[in-house]
Amino acid sequence: MSHSEQQGDPNHAATAEGYEGRDGEEESEALGSYLIGLGLAALLTVVSFFIARTTLVWQPSIPVALAVLAIGQMGVHLVFFLKITTGPDNVNNVLALAFGVLIVMLIIVGSLWIMAHMNHNMMPMDQIMRMQR
């Protein structure tokens, strides 16, 4: 049905371009995926709080464990909620995600590099004190 035919149809509801309605089986499958994602996200959150509060885990390894759980949490959100997979129909989504990760990493690495070299580029304190007199 063309766009002009759709506008002439009084029963046609406004839908997004390229949207095809889902049947009941696809909707229940999508709901199941969301519920699995919700369960995994909640489990990872509870485990993170448990690790941060317990004495059962070796103390220096807690930040590493929390970072691993955070990365897992991001993966759960990407796959189960944002539906970003490596399927052939999601190539643009994966490329956009990779580009976003690249930009964030460049900002983080650049900021760390600037902070590490800040003292090297500053004037020595005795020269600063002489200039203030």
Predicted local distance difference test score (pLDDT) of residue 11: 55
Distance CA 81, CA 29 (A): 13
For the chain, how far is it from start to end, CA to CA, in angstroms?
A: 82
The arithmetic mean of pLDDT across residues 87-114, rounded, is 89
* Burial class of residue 40 (count of CB atoms within 10 Å of its CB; 0-12, 13-18, 19+): middle
Predicted local distance difference test score (pLDDT) of residue 104: 93
The arithmetic mean of pLDDT across residues 112-125, rounded, is 80
User: How do the domains of the chain map onto residue ranges?
Assistant: 1-83, 87-133
Task: Identify the DSSP state of 13.
Answer: P
**What predicted TM-score, i.e. pTM, was given to this entire model?**
0.60
pLDDT band at 77 (very low <50, low <70, confident <90, very high): very high
* pLDDT per position as a tens digit, 44-62: 999 999 999 998 889 999 9
Q: Which is higher by pLDDT, 10 or 111? A: 111
